[in-house]
Amino acid sequence: MDKFYTTTAIDYVNGAPHIGHAYEKILTNVIYRHFTQRVSDPYMLTGVDEHGIKIQKLAQSMGIEPKELCDTNAQKFADAWKRLDINYSQLIRTTSEEHKKTVQKIFKKLIEQGDIYKNSYKGLYCAGCEAFLSDKDLDEEGCCLIHKKKPEEVSEENYFFKLTKYKQRIIDHIKQNPDFIVPSFRANEVLNQLENIEDISVSRAKTNVSWGIDVLDDPEQVIYVWIDALSNYITALGYDTENPSEKFKKYWPAEVQVIGKDILKFHSIYWLALLMALDIELPKHLLAHGWITIDEAKMSKSLGNVVSPDSVMDSFNLEEPDALRYYMATAAPCGKDGNYSDDDFKEKVNAHLANSMGNLLNRTLSMLVKYFDGEIKPEFVQKSPLFDDAIQAIKEVKHHFDYFEVSEAAQKIVELVDKTNKYVTDNAPWTLAKEEKMTECGVVLYTVLEIMCVISSLIYPYCPNIATKMASQLKYDINTKLDDIKIENIKTGKLISKEEIVPVFLRLDSELADKSKKK
């Protein structure tokens, strides 16, 4: 595999990013960074969704133009991802001229080939979902299952997409490709939703929604969210209905598209049907992640428990985002819901990154300086059964990432760290030195440092700064591809001096968990 194209959902810019937004971007970026260690040409796309009634109404309430609101909030997302070391390849904005022109071409093409038609419609519209809802989407009180608000009854003439035309093809694709939707248990949800699927509205009358992309040849209509927003994954690559770019041909289809479980329906049904209508190859996988709760409660503005990634980093005085990246990426098993709490954050990263991994490297290098002036002697270079564990860990981590099991892959890294710590305890190099068994002592230290090279590579997608610091002290090339890693990285001779030994991660001692300090 030479290339790896991954995408996130695009975020709606009616506010600043919160920890849920950060979870998806971190999760995707960890996957992306892992595959930079395996392929020659990875590409990660993220972006912002900037059209629709919510933006229009919010801008009106603020007395500003929608574009001004979008510009301000889009920058907030870009700034947040930079601070979290989300090293995406591209951030697409749906207000960009290139995107808008391509969306108009896609819409026109679908009209011309009969996949989009005009019809009068009366239905229940949820502004939060930006979708018309059926009875199955409502609770007993007639409220949206997701937003807990009653939808508005809307009657207008719109363009409709023939979703029903592609129903059977979508069903067949999901059934014939059991690994298409990750985790696989969500496939049944989609198949159930497909049972009563109807054609969908893909435009709104300008009298109701003016902030959007105009329909060519029909200035009274704007293109509705789904064709506008969902198309970003291909318009970003330079897709064109007549002459797709070389970039599009190079990267599409996506290996995995990462989305929240609440928008799986739109990606597994609407998006697939749109691609089928355009005769474009389907993505290889859809990864539907769960939600992040706060102290076991769903985030809600009314509850006042919306947490931003900036607030976590500021409260814990984090100069680098590795601790938050690691915590969020390991917050939940693949596809399940996760939870953020101040106490758990502090406890987990202190245990895994400071006490286990960071301390293991620091004390091993310190003993190398204390007993051998930082030098690796030739007689220290001996094979160890622990090396087999390290090679096996690489294979297991790769296997989990092949199925986008990010938290599960991290657990394999932690297990390798724990095995190495046990090896140190069992062999007690300090006792060997005291007994003047210097060669045996040196062998233990060398063995640990070789394993730490492997650990630095494996932890890199989660903690790029920590991994780089580890590799620097080990004189190890952090850019080594996973398939090229061998247990022969530590060279004989002077490795490190006392002055070069720096803790790669300090324990968190902030008291963010003290709620009184938040007020």
Is 22 a member of any domain? no
Is 468 a member of any domain? yes
pLDDT given at position 519: 35
CA dist., res. 189 & res. 161, Å (int): 22
Whether 441 is catalytic is no
Per-residue pLDDT tens over the stretch 413-463:
999 999 999 999 999 999 999 999 999 999 999 999 999 999 999 999 999
Q: What Rg value do the Cα atoms of the chain yield, rounded?
A: 26
101-105 mean pLDDT: 98
CA dist., res. 508 & res. 43, Å (int): 33
Residue with tokens 């297991």: 396
Exposed (0-12), middle (13-18) or buried (19+): which is 143, by Cβ within 10 Å?
Answer: middle
269 in helix, strand or coil? helix
Is 441 a member of any domain? yes
Whether 70 is catalytic is no
Is 390 a member of any domain? yes
Range of the domain at 405: 349-500
Structure tokens at 279: 């005769």
Q: How confident is the model at residue 349 (pLDDT cuts 50, 70, 90)?
A: very high
pLDDT given at position 446: 98
Q: Positive or negative, the Cα torsion across 38, 42, 48, 49?
A: negative
Backbone φ/ψ region at 209: left (φ over 0), alpha (ψ -120 to 50), beta: beta
CA dist., res. 451 & res. 416, Å (int): 8
Answer whether 257's CB lies under 8 Å from 286's CB.
Answer: yes
When the pLDDT of each residue in the chain is averaged and rounded to a whole number, the result is 94
pLDDT given at position 249: 97
CA dist., res. 166 & res. 275, Å (int): 10
Is 359 a member of any domain? yes
Active-site residue identified among 136, 149, 298, 517: 298
pLDDT given at position 369: 98
Q: How confident is the model at residue 512 (pLDDT cuts 50, 70, 90)?
A: very low
CA dist., res. 470 & res. 452, Å (int): 8
Is 382 a member of any domain? yes
Active-site residue identified among 51, 99, 126, 289: 126
292-307 mean pLDDT: 77
Per-residue pLDDT tens over the stretch 34-72:
999 999 999 999 999 999 999 999 999 999 999 999 999
CA dist., res. 516 & res. 514, Å (int): 5
Active-site residue identified among 67, 82, 136, 147: 147
289 in helix, strand or coil? strand
Q: Label residues 306-326 b or e (16+ Cβ within 10 Å = b).
A: bbbbbebbebbebebbbbbbb
Answer whether 338's CB lies under 8 Å from 23's CB.
Answer: yes
Active-site residue identified among 34, 99, 129, 398: 129
Whether 147 is catalytic is yes
Reply yes or no on whether the pLDDT at 516 is more than 60. Answer: no
Tally of structural domains, the chain: 1
Above pLDDT 70, what percent of the chain?
A: 97
Backbone φ/ψ region at 6: left (φ over 0), alpha (ψ -120 to 50), beta: beta
Active-site residue identified among 21, 265, 352, 469: 21
166-185 mean pLDDT: 97
Q: By C-alpha distance, which of 59, 62, 61, 24 is closest to 44?
A: 24
CA dist., res. 29 & res. 221, Å (int): 37
- Beta-bridge partners for 159: 118
Whether 463 is catalytic is no
CA dist., res. 207 & res. 228, Å (int): 19
Whether 334 is catalytic is no
122-126, 334-338, 383-387: least confidently modelled range: 122-126
Q: How confident is the model at residue 513 (pLDDT cuts 50, 70, 90)?
A: very low
Higher-confidence residue: 133 or 21?
Answer: 21
Q: How confident is the model at residue 300 (pLDDT cuts 50, 70, 90)?
A: low
The DSSP secondary structure of 78-120, one letter per residue, reads HHHHHHTT---SEEEETTSHHHHHHHHHHHHHHHHTTSEEEEE
CA dist., res. 94 & res. 92, Å (int): 6
pLDDT given at position 303: 64
Sequence-distant (6+) residues with CB within 8 A of 369 are 496, 497, 498, 501
pLDDT given at position 515: 38
Q: Is the pTM here over 0.85, yes or no?
A: yes
Is 74 a member of any domain? no
Higher-confidence residue: 297 or 31?
Answer: 31
Per-residue pLDDT tens over the stretch 188-199:
999 999 999 999
For residue 482, give the CATH number of its domain: 1.10.730.10
pLDDT given at position 301: 67
As a residue count, the chain comes to 519
Active-site residue identified among 70, 144, 334, 463: 144
Is 123 a member of any domain? no
Whether 453 is catalytic is no
CA dist., res. 375 & res. 495, Å (int): 5
170-179, 215-224, 295-304: least confidently modelled range: 295-304
Answer whether 41's CB lies under 8 Å from 4's CB.
Answer: yes
